[in-house]
Amino acid sequence: MSISPISDDLVGQRQKRIDIVHELRKKGIDPYPAYSQKDVVNQALLSAFDTYVGKWLHVTGRIMSIRKHGKILFYDLQDESGTVQVCIKQDEYDPSTHPDVSSLHALSWDDLGYLDKGDFAQVYGAVGKTQSGQITIFAHGVYILTKSIRPLPNTLDEKELKFRRRYVDLTLHPSQKERFLRKAKFWLVSRDFLTTRGFIEVETPVLEHVTGGADARPFVTHHNELDQNFYLRISTELYQKRLVGAGFEKIFTFGPNFRNEGLSDEHLQEYYQIEWYWAYANYQDNMKLTQEMFRRVAQEVYGRTEFSSRGHTFDLADEWETVDYAKIIKERFDVDIFTTPDAQMQRILQESGVELAGTVNRNRLIDNLWKLIRKTIAGPAFLINEPAFLSPLSKSCTSDARLTERYHVIIGGSELANGYSEINDPAEQLNRFLDQQKLRDQGDDEAQMLDIDYVEMLEYGMPPTSGHGHSERLFWFLEDCTGREGTLFPLLRREIEQNTYKIYPFLKPPEKRVFKDLTDTNLFSISTQVKEKWPSMHIGFAIIRGVSIYKKNDELEKEKGKILDSMSGLSIEAINAFPEVQSYRKMYKEMGVDWHSRRPSPEALLRRIAQKKGLYCVNTCVDAYNLVVMKHRVSSGAFDLDKLQFPIVLQFGSEGDTIELLGDIKPTLLTSQEVSYFDTKGPFNLDFNYRDAQRTAVSENTKNLVINIDGVHSITREQVEKTLKETIEIIQKYCGGAVQVAGIVSASP
């Protein structure tokens, strides 16, 4: 073998292995053959040695280590079942005495030097033991099955890197595969449990015109041929109940659901769920069935029913406690969920260390009181008698219409399953849908959509039915692992390593930063408190001097017309789904601002288009940068520099701070949670470019501008930079001027 080293880095090692591929092919050896032979799995040799000792067999796997001691080579050969040692003695190794296997050609002693850790190989030899007693294959023929050109790392310690390169993680830590073998059995037993009780598995659409069955924000996609938007399902509920109306009496689905919210170790946007519907049954019947299923799954998958998870210990074989929603809140906090004043509940939450951001209403207060109790319950338990105002799809109890025939399964301080007696009164269901649709029309993207086809199905008639659903979160709790740890390929932000760009020059790395970090705090800065609250924040900042602003410009009016034409099909639903709009709404909630009444500027402009109200005509500066706002859905603002007194700081309001907003007669009082741009005179822009102050408004008399671009949550620095660049360009196009300063200020540089 004559391959000279290139370098010790990844790129060099990879190139060295590529050179080996070429050398093997010159010798007539295929480094990637289609054929292989495997007579036995590795673990069988270890667990049934007496059965195989002395036999000549073909074994296969990945080489996980190579050790050379003079004229003896040792490999550790790993397949799915386990690892077996291979021993090759130079004096005894003679592949010519054994025929080639199909198209495979055995490597000579010298050619064995072409093998590296990570390669897949097939070994032919006799089963025996070394002098130390280790079970070993004494090889007389070694065949290459796959040449690995990227070397395996010695360790993979970084958690996120494990998720990104799960194929490497499972190779280096094969014991991790056991978790996913258990997960496969978890679902297999669950499905078998239902089918043996007369349930049949059905299929329901993943792409839906109208999505429903849960309060969640859906993903939106577009069907090119139909030229219509579709939603990825958040539940299979409404289609399964259509099938119940069609005459199916026991049905279930198993598969992925999608919810466009909450990226964390415990919340995944794509997850697997089992959901069933049982005609002529009520929620109490389903509670019994659920109890039986959970116990059966635990026993068959784990061989036990007692578990410890999230700081709790519970036994599914125990008698399941029944927790009455209203009664336990009364017992713990002396709160009547129907009559106690909101102020009293808010005081209890504050004393318990619970701070609620965003709009605080009675439902949220009561729900958070329950959550304080829930986290103390190890379970297993059923939560019952939940109030109707928190359960819009559940049938009301006949004994008390304020309560519902609903249950949650409480395990480890969390709700891990949900079931109830289904509404089958079409008029009642329509009214509840209409209430939900009103919330959607007001911008609540988690409220349920009006599904008129489903209402029409109920008009044909659906028998009394109970439904139940639980996701793989139950598995995570039984494993006491996070959602990401319990998922083979959890969703992550896409990233490409720098070495990948070196290896594949045709890949284009992300554009280099257009703007440098702005560090001059005499111009602009973000307060420490705001940075701590929103570490993902990026603000674009620029000063443009010498502009000439006019009331109108014919060419600009044409551009506005093109924008209107290009967005003629824009709907409120589509606006609600934009991630940038969601980012601003999320921030508004965190500021305690009702975003139904105060729309972030991108949303406000886009809603005007969707509602056919047209675009504002303010002046050539404002009208120009509004086009960029609508294009990228990133909030922007322009201010009269000569009316400002530097430095400018993005900060929280203080008690007594007021701002005279453009067009208002009375000043607006800021709260301590609201974020505004301040100069030394006070606030001049409210709630991240919701509205501007009269004193800094841009007019035809403005000669010098300050520009800011607002990015938070999922809005990246790249988006802010692109918006800042195009904002500057379009202002200069229609107003002229020269850029004095332009840069980015990030909360976490």
Using DSSP's 3-state secondary structure scheme, residue 684 falls into strand
489 alpha carbon, distance to own chain's centre: 11
Mean pLDDT of successive 10-residue segments in the chain (749 residues)? Answer: 58 92 94 93 94 94 94 95 95 76 82 95 94 94 95 84 90 92 97 97 93 80 82 93 96 93 77 96 97 97 95 95 94 92 91 76 87 93 91 87 94 94 92 78 69 95 96 95 91 84 86 85 89 87 96 92 89 90 88 80 90 90 94 93 93 84 82 88 82 88 95 90 95 95 88
Query: For position 655, what pLDDT does the model report?
Result: 78
Contacts of 586 (CB under 8 A, 6+ apart): 713
Pairing mode, if any, of strands 675-679 and 682-686?
antiparallel
How many residues belong to the chain?
749
CATH topology of domain 176-200+234-479: BirA Bifunctional Protein; domain 2 (3.30.930)
Domain 10-152, architecture per CATH:
Beta Barrel (2.40)
Domain boundaries, given as residue ranges, for the chain: 10-152, 176-200+234-479, 524-746
**What separation, in Å, do the N-terminal and C-terminal C-alpha atoms of the chain show?**
50
**3-class DSSP state of 169:** helix
Using left for φ > 0, alpha for ψ between -120 and 50, and beta otherwise, residue 235 falls in beta
SS3 state at 604: helix
- Of 653, 645, 351, 644, nearest in space to 529 by CA: 653
What's the pLDDT score for residue 22?
96
Indicate the burial class of 569 (C-beta count within 10 angstroms; 0-12, 13-18, 19 or more). exposed
Encode 453-496 in three state secondary structure. Answer: HHHHHHHHCCCCEEEEEEECHHHHHHHCCCCCCCCCCCCCCCCC
Q: Which CATH architecture has domain 524-746?
A: 3-Layer(bba) Sandwich (3.50)
Q: Where are the beta strands (DSSP E) in 147-199?
A: none
What is d(CA 458, CA 77) in angstroms, rounded to the nearest whole number? 61
CA torsion, ordered 644, 649, 652, 658, to nearest 10 deg: -10
The rounded distance, in Å, linking the Cα atoms of 290 and 381 is 11
Q: Strand 207-208 to strand 228-232: parallel, antiparallel, or no bridges (unpaired)?
A: antiparallel
* Distance (Å, whole) CA 116 – CA 144: 10
The type of residue at 749 is P
Locate 235 and state its tokens: 């539940």
Please tell me whether residue 410 adopts helix, strand or coil conformation. strand
Q: What's the confidence (pLDDT) of residue 445?
A: 62
Beta carbons within 10 angstroms of residue 541's beta carbon: 22
Task: Identify each DSSP E strand in 605-690 by its residue range.
Answer: 635-640, 648-652, 658-659, 668-669, 675-679, 682-686
Over the stretch 652-696, which tens digit does the pLDDT of each residue have?
A: 888 788 888 877 788 888 888 888 999 999 889 887 777 788 899
* Whole-number pLDDT of residue 441: 65
Residue-wise pLDDT for 332-390, tens only, equals 999 999 999 999 999 999 888 887 765 577 888 998 999 999 999 998 999 999 998 88
pTM for the predicted model, two decimal places: 0.71
